[in-house]
């Protein structure tokens, strides 16, 4: 049955509908230790996010929620909505797993930290110590001009998914590879990783590498060190 279905349909992308009125309550929900906060994960996996019922919150509440969502997932496009009304092209033809479209998808939001989006994990000490907020899910963005050694990149990413695959929800990147006029694009989900040559760099275009990692307990320092180790 799965094989039959796969002939006719594919996973185009993940669209998450967020209730602006009640989302913070669920994102902040205290869970038993080692129990996943489903609301946080749904935001983390999303390619597109519809932030609905914005007419029921203040501008300040909307800004706080939007920033929280971007901290969890700095990759997803966010559309504000009332009564769930959005253009169909926002939810169809997403191409979230299409390597040929990654170049246009990897955008680092300048409204947040230019280097990364991070939520510091914390406990509420007035609760039992076995219950914590699931605030360790975050996204880390790396934007850097330069060229990379493809073999070093492959080794780095393979080590990364071997060591952190279970905690890596999504990752995407557009890279400038030494000796190549084409971008190199990659994407991964947990321990699955795909990559291939992309579009050609323009003759006067700056070769800027852009990578986004979304996951649990991400170490920005380690990720940046691994990236720098691939530079030529």
User: Are residues 202 and 145 part of one domain?
Assistant: yes
pLDDT level of residue 1 (50, 70, 90 thresholds): low
Q: Which residue has the higher pLDDT, 63 or 2?
A: 63
In a domain, 191, yes or no: yes
pLDDT score of 102 more than 80: no
Q: How far, in Å, CA of 194 to CA of 70, rounded?
A: 25
Find the CATH number of the domain harbouring 170: 3.30.1220.10
Residue at which a domain ends, from 76, 97, 118: 97
pLDDT level of residue 122 (50, 70, 90 thresholds): very low
pLDDT score of 4 more than 90: no
Instruction: Give the residues across from 81 on adjacent strands.
Output: none
In a domain, 109, yes or no: no
**pLDDT cut 90: percent of the chain above it:** 67
The total number of residues shown for the chain amounts to: 232
18-28 pLDDT, tens digit each = 999 999 999 99
What's the total number of domains in the chain? 2
Highest-scoring range by mean pLDDT, 47-61, 87-101, 109-123, 187-201: 47-61
User: Are residues 199 and 148 part of one domain?
Assistant: yes
User: Are residues 225 and 144 part of one domain?
Assistant: yes
In a domain, 131, yes or no: no
pLDDT of residue 32: 83
pTM, rounded to two decimals: 0.78
Q: What is the mean pLDDT of residues 157-168?
A: 94
Residue at which a domain ends, from 66, 97, 128: 97
191-227 pLDDT, tens digit each = 999 999 999 999 999 999 999 999 998 999 999 999 9
User: Are residues 86 and 157 part of one domain?
Assistant: no
User: Are residues 200 and 145 part of one domain?
Assistant: yes
User: Are residues 76 and 143 part of one domain?
Assistant: no
User: Are residues 93 and 13 part of one domain?
Assistant: yes
User: Are residues 219 and 170 part of one domain?
Assistant: yes
In a domain, 150, yes or no: yes
In a domain, 128, yes or no: no
User: Are residues 93 and 142 part of one domain?
Assistant: no
In a domain, 75, yes or no: yes
**Given its phi and psi angles, is residue 76 left (phi above 0), alpha (psi -120 to 50 degrees) or beta?**
beta
pLDDT of residue 163: 94
140 vs 95, 134, 214, CA distance in Å?
A: 22, 17, 7
User: Are residues 162 and 88 part of one domain?
Assistant: no
Residue at which a domain ends, from 38, 71, 97: 97
In a domain, 114, yes or no: no
Mean pLDDT of the chain: 85
In a domain, 13, yes or no: yes
Q: Can you give the residue range of the structural domain that contains 174?
A: 137-230
Q: Cite the beta strand spans of the chain per DSSP E.
A: 15-19, 30-32, 48-52, 77-80, 131-133, 137-145, 168-176, 182-189, 192-200, 208-216
């Amino acid at each position: 049955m799965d094989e039959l279905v796969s002939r006719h349909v594919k996973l185009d992308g993940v669209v998450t509908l967020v209730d602006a009125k009640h989302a913070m309550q669920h994102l902040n929900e205290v869970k038993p230790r080692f129990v996943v906060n489903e609301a946080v994960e749904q935001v983390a996996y999303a390619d597109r996010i519809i932030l609905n019922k914005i007419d029921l919150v203040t501008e300040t509440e909307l800004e706080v929620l939007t920033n929280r969502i971007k901290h969890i997932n700095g990759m997803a496009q966010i559309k504000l909505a009332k009564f769930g009304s959005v253009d169909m092209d926002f939810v169809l033809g997403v191409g979230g797993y299409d390597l040929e479209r990654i170049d246009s998808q990897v955008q680092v939001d300048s409204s947040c930290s230019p280097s990364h989006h991070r939520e510091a994990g914390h406990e509420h000490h007035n609760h039992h110590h076995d219950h914590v907020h699931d605030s360790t899910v975050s996204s880390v963005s790396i934007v850097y001009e330069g060229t990379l050694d493809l073999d070093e990149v492959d080794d780095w990413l393979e080590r990364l998914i071997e060591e952190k695959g279970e905690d890596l929800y999504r990752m995407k990147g557009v890279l400038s590879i030494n000796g190549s006029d084409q971008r190199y694009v990659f994407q991964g989900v947990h321990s699955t990783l795909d990559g291939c040559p992309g579009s050609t760099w323009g003759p006067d275009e700056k070769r800027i590498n852009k990578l986004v990692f979304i996951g649990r307990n991400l170490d920005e320092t380690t990720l940046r060190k691994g990236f720098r180790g691939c530079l030529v």
